[in-house]
Structure 1
Amino acid sequence: MREPTVRTQKIHRNYLKLRLIIFGGLALALVIASYFSESLCPYDPYLQDLGNAKAIPSAAHLFGTDRYGRDMLSRVIVGSKTSIYSTLLLVGFIMVFGTMIGIFCAWSGKKIDSVLMRISDIFLAFPGLVFALAVAAALGGGVHNAIIALAAISWPKYARVARSQTLAQKETVYIKAARLSGCGTGKIILKHILPNIFGPILVTAVLDIGTMMMELAGLSFLGLGAKPPIAEWGSMMSDTRNLLTTHPWVTLAPGFAIFVSVVIFNLLGDTVRDWLDPRNGR
């Protein structure tokens, strides 16, 4: 099999760069738009107009209105802030917490490593969403409790990745040289370990955004996440699911928003993974 030429590698690298700019830009635009969602809404998302209830999609209401006459486009836009920022908060927390646990396990030795890894095995032994449902139900529902429930089942994957990467780096020549030069443990971890294990952790986190978004929406759909009248995509689908056969646009609008957001973040995750792959000429 012929080795790729320098020209081929350069073309492929430029293609990956273009993908990174496109999908990174779309994801950033989504995050920024959700932050300013209240200003982007054409109508008050919580204003009820019973005389205009269940209106079909039109120029005035692109996604129609719900049973209370609230503009669905406005509710989808304002719901993006809760859905997207809750997801980013969740992914950021489990990434940081799981990475800290993984590095600590790999660096501390066999006893602490064994105890913490067995705890992570216990969390991994349960079906993820079922365990999250149980935790969220025990905590009483709500967005914050849904985040806590999903965080409880999701941190072990990051701990596993960080632990394996740290163990691989721990016995390398440059780490031994850093020890001999008098570097302390904290400096070695921050200056040498973290920069070299950050790539796989970042890829895992970006690819996890879409999954966490759907799971948060799933908890809200089942009544264990955001509570009405808060506009959140999962709870909006749950609140209007009985209208799916008669007024499908009311339910499909937030579902379409989830679909588009998950696709964008998944494509960004795939692109980041390819970009960081050393086989692609990096």
Structure 2
Amino acid sequence: MSSENRQVSVRQLKVKKCNTKCRLIVFAMLAICLVAVAVFADRLCPYDPYAQDLSLSYQAPSAAHLMGTDAYGRDMFSRVIVGARASILSTLALVCIITLVGTAVGTISGFIGGKVDAIVMRISDFFLAFPGLVFALAVAALLGGGILNAIIALAVISWPKYARVARSQTLSLKVSSFVQAAVLAGDNPPQIIFRHILPNIFGPILVTAMLDIGTMTMELAGLSFLGLGAQPPIAEWGSMMSSGRSMLQTYPWVVLSPGIAIFISVVIFNLLGDTVRDYLDPK
């Protein structure tokens, strides 16, 4: 390749990196805005999301009620906003749990190897053999309804993905020259894991977690829709869709309002995950 072609290639990579960085900032800001809405939901609601007024039942969207009202006259816009707390914050908590558990299990398994690694991988194979949402439905039904039980049910089935990513990265890193040098220098296993393994597998784990937020949002909403997640009168997007599904043809805004919120959240987090992946691996 000529020097001129190399310069063009370098320039193209710089432009691509700059564009990716700009997109990352935009989508990160949008995701932060969603989280801020969830955290400060009570202050952002124009009406009390739990106040009932039957005289306002099934009001169509208007200037007074941007997303209309439900069967009990509750403002749908306020309920969608406060529903972000149960939906988004629960999803983030779930992703944090499965990321930490899966990464810890996979890293230790890959580093120790031998029978421990074989046993852990067979356990993960067992969980991965089942359709994720179906298994989560069974666990949630066994535990009973509630957002906490829904999180536990999804965590039980979702950690193996992270364990496999962490294990594969650990297996390749533990034979690398800098890890071998740390072993010869007398570092104990915890020191090697925290100083040399975890910092180098952070990127793939982060990308996996970011791409999983949208999926977990939909699966938590799915459990709530089926009555195995958040229970009324708690405002949660999946539960709100379930409560209004019988009125879809006559009062569609009751179902569409939380549905749109789920769609926007999933799109933003998926775009953020894709951009993080592109930024960490520009090739």
Give the TM-score, by structure 1 length.
Answer: 0.97
When residues 227 and 248 of structure 1 are mapped into structure 2, their CA distance, relative to the original with a 3 A threshold, is: same
> Match of 1:210?
214
Correspondence list, 1:1-282, <5 A: 5-279=9-283
Instruction: Name the CA distance, whole Å, in 1 between partners of 2:89 and 2:56.
Output: 31
Q: Name the aligned partner's letter for residue 139 of structure 2.
A: V
How far off is 1:109 after superposition?
2.1
How many residue pairs get aligned? The number is 279
Taking the aligned partners of 2:142 and 2:261, their CA distance within structure 1 comes to 29
Deviations 1:225-255 (A, max 9, x none): 0000000000000000001000001110000
Please list the CA deviations of residues 51-90 of structure 1 after superposition, one character each: whole Å capped at 9, or x if unmatched: 0100000000000000000000000000000000000000
CA positional deviation for 1:278 = 4.9
Alpha-carbon distance in 2 for matches of 1:244, 1:116:
46
SS at match of 1:5: helix
Any stretches of 5+ residues in structure 2 without a counterpart? none
Q: Secondary structure at the match of 1:171?
A: coil
**Which whole-Å CA distance do the structure 2 matches of 1:254 and 1:247 have between them?**
13
Q: Residue deviations 1:121-150, cap 9 Å, x none?
A: 110111111100000000011100000000
Question: For residues 132 and 265 of structure 1, what CA distance do their matches in structure 2 show?
Answer: 22
- 2:220 & 2:253 partners in 1: Cα distance? 22
The superposition leaves residues 75-124 of structure 1 with CA deviations (integer Å, 9 ceiling, x where unpaired) of 00000000000000000000000000001111112101111110111101
Query: 1:159 is matched by which residue type in structure 2?
Result: A
Unaligned segments of structure 1, at least 5 residues: none
Moved over 2 A (4+): 1-4
When normalised by structure 2's length, the TM-score is 0.97
* Cα distance change of structure 1 residues 104 and 114 upon mapping to structure 2, 3 Å threshold: same
Q: Give the distance between the partners of 1:130 and 1:271, measured in 2 at CA.
A: 30
Work out the CA distance in 2 between the residues paired with 1:41 and 1:74. Answer: 5
Give the whole-Å Cα distance in 2 for the aligned partners of 1:133 and 1:149: 7
**How much does 1:33 deviate?**
1.6
CA RMSD of aligned residues (A): 1.1
| 8 A contact 2:17–2:282 mirrored in 1 | no
Task: Provide the rounded CA distance (Å) in 2 between the counterparts of 1:278 and 1:243.
Answer: 47
